[in-house]
Amino acid sequence: MRHGKYPFVIGFLFVPVTLYVVFVIAPYAQAFQISMTNWRGLSAPQWVGFENYRRLLDDGNFWKAIQHHAVLLLALPLITIAIALFFAFLLNVGGRSVGGQRQGVWGSKFYRVVFFFPQVLAVAIIAVLFQMVYRPNESGLINGVLMKLGLDPVLFLIKPNLALWSILAVLVWQAVGFYVVLFSAGMASIPTEIYEAAEMDGATRVTLFFRVTLPLLWDTLQVAWVYLGIAAFDAFAIVAVLSVDGGGPDGATTVLAMEIYRNAFVYSKYGYASAMGVALFFLTITFAALTLRLSKRESVEY
């Protein structure tokens, strides 16, 4: 291009690149380094090689966290996508055809607006909200009703085998609306002629869904799965605020982010916490790569 290009380019890139290198790149690079030390913040860090990683293997909480990620990784995308697909289908092509055009069911717009709303709220706020909803006595939204009906209260967050599912339910509650909107956008780009042709052949709604909508939506589904999987590897805010004593009862809901936070900022085990961070990083990357690889399939051109 013309004269004076380089001063301009450098001028425009200087601040963003500096900020990014100082606050993002440098910490990421240091994380790998710190994970090989026994640094606790006071004295100079000592190099311990892979000792922290070896200790991870014997850490009960680490394995609990991994198990919880495995549960979330399967259940969160599966449940969310199933519900969202069902609703998106109803809202877009579930109604009767008007002049050959498939319509959504009555009230589609209202439902879409309402369903999406939780996405706008902060997870930490939602966690506080559901702490009220799940409260174990008559002041809880659910148990208030159950106890009025003379039933025993359900200890959503206190029973170890129920707590993780209670948290999962909140994640689904928040996520469904987002994916309804995402899938709706995908469905809207499917040409109506395909539906018409299928319908002319007498396809029922169920066949329409499984044989037309689903295959043509494959790319969007893949994106949704990756997004929800990454969300399943995070879950810090919800676990930190909603669960009993941050990941409890007795580690029944803990996740890696929670363990990293606790080890670093409560116990000051910076080296060990960083090793967990590195483990989390490799798990996330592996998941994303595997999903993209395994779900690869001929996309249908239309």
Contacts (CB under 8 A) with another protein, residues 141-170: 141, 144-145, 148
Among 47, 50, 78, 107, binds another protein (CB under 8 A): 107
Work out whether 78 is an interface residue with another protein (CB under 8 A): no
Among 57, 58, 60, 96, binds another protein (CB under 8 A): 96
Count of positions on this chain that bind another protein (CB under 8 A): 124
Contact flags string 230-259 toward another protein, x per CB under 8 A:
x--xx-xx--xx--------------xx--
Beta partners for 102?
97
To another protein, the closest distance from the beta carbon of 49 in angstroms equals: 18
Work out whether 95 is an interface residue with another protein (CB under 8 A): yes
Burial 7-30 (b: 16+ CB within 10 A, else e): eeeeeeeeeeeeeeeeeeeeeeee
The helix (run of H) or strand (run of E) holding residue 112 is helix 108-116
- Preceding peptide of 118 cis, ω within 30°: no
Burial 94-123 (b: 16+ CB within 10 A, else e): bbeeeeeebebeeebeebbeebeebeeeeb
Beta partners for 47?
37
Give dist(CA 46, CA 44) in Å, integer.
6
To another protein, the closest distance from the beta carbon of 87 in angstroms equals: 6
To another protein, the closest distance from the beta carbon of 164 in angstroms equals: 19
To another protein, the closest distance from the beta carbon of 296 in angstroms equals: 16
> Which residues in 1-60 contact another protein (CB under 8 A)?
1-2, 4-6, 8-9, 11-13, 15-17, 19-20, 22-28, 30-31, 34
For residue 82, the Cα-to-chain-centroid distance in whole angstroms is: 15
Sort 164 into a burial class: Cβ within 10 Å, 0-12 / 13-18 / 19+: buried
To another protein, the closest distance from the beta carbon of 70 in angstroms equals: 17
Among 76, 81, 85, 176, binds another protein (CB under 8 A): 176
> Which residues in 193-212 contact another protein (CB under 8 A)?
193-194, 197-198, 201-205, 207-208, 211-212
To another protein, the closest distance from the beta carbon of 162 in angstroms equals: 18
Coil, helix or strand at residue 138: coil
Instruction: Write out the two tokens for 25.
Output: 């790149």
Work out whether 101 is an interface residue with another protein (CB under 8 A): no
> Which residues in 260-299 contact another protein (CB under 8 A)?
260-261, 264-265, 270, 273-274, 277-278, 280-281, 284-285, 288, 299
In order of 78, 119, 130, 162, 248, the CA distances from 159 in angstroms are 24, 28, 16, 5, 10
